[in-house]
Copies of this chain bind each other. A is one copy, B any other.
């Protein structure tokens, strides 16, 4: 009889005791943005900005080709960090100071590194702690057009694997990362007005008024498609795609069912807002903060609204202005006996799922239409 096989099962991802302030992860894989990935997500999110849909428009504006929307660039870059940072997380607390830099085009390859800024044991919950990291995504490493495309921080609650293991709390300084939004120059020789019909007539800088809340008209029902969407980003976190695992212990997992990867409502809400807010933007400058406030499941319908908080000049760019906004995503859950309100039908309860502070670089009608 042959010797019995020795079984090996490798650890996937890191647990709380594995994190040390100052530690650097150079994440595996990297990802080339193919036209397949671009189409799946740009259209999934119902993005309306013609920079992401119409290559002749994008090139006329001074980009190299179709522009990967910031939501997709964020998704691809963020997903590269999941295995090392949040594979064994309970929840993602928030995104902080997400800044955009070089434009991302189809064919670009993104690679990501992460530095651990701090690890703090949870004050109340045993075997849990808050890990704070800083990540930076670069494109085309080693090539002449290598550049930083985005950098951000996030805080996440991570489980301990071994209750008796020693932790390594502490803090490290974030690295200074040069990351400023690249924008094509304004070219007075380009006939922008001839292309103005390709975007909305009323989402120029001059149209935004602080103190208004724009309710975006469209909703989008999620289905089991989310499993494929998440896998094609290389995010293999099991709570999104392993129903058998959920079935063994439904009480342990939120909702007792597969939960949708947060990046999906993130990018979907950006897309749902784009006909009213984003389609005359040349780019997003920064997301100062962002967080998920409730889970999302197949069968839920996602809606969005944008609160306009402030408008200001864009230094050095008289053709543009900065709009400071708060993007809000929500869904409805059945709630028997709940009466109707101004924005919710009877028998339903409105549940906020996502919020994102967002600064956009928006075209001025005076220069572009």
Binding site for B on A (CB under 8 A): 3, 5-10, 12, 26-32, 34-40, 43-44, 46, 48, 50, 53-57, 60, 66, 106-107, 109, 111, 140-143, 197-200, 202, 209, 211-215, 217-221, 223-225, 227-228, 231-234, 236, 238, 241-245, 248, 258, 275-276, 279, 299, 301, 303, 307, 331-332, 345
Contacts and interface: CB of A to CB of B under 8 A. Distances in A.
Nearest to A58: B32
A142 B48 CA distance: 21
A37 B39 contact: yes
18 contacts: A5-B211, A12-B218, A28-B197, A28-B198, A28-B200, A30-B56, A30-B57, A34-B35, A34-B106, A36-B38, A40-B232, A46-B231, A56-B140, A221-B227, A221-B242, A223-B224, A225-B225, A225-B227
B44 A38 contact: no
This chain's copy number in the assembly: 3
Nearest to A221: B243
Residue among A55, A57, A109, A221 facing the most chain B CB atoms (10 A cut-off): A221
Max chain B C-beta neighbours (<10 A), residue from A27, A231, A248: A231
Contacts of A217: 9-10, 12
A246 to B, nearest CB: 9
Nearest to A346: B248
Interface centre among A26, A29, A215 (most CB of B within 10 A): A29
A9 B215 contact: yes
Contacts of A32: 53-56, 66
Contacts of A27: 197
A306 to B, nearest CB: 9
Which 4 A-B pairs have CB atoms at the shortest separation, nearest pair first?
A36-B39, A43-B232, A30-B54, A244-B301
A225 to B, nearest CB: 6
Interface centre among A9, A299, A345 (most CB of B within 10 A): A9
A219 B242 contact: yes
A225 B214 CA distance: 30
A44 B279 CA distance: 30
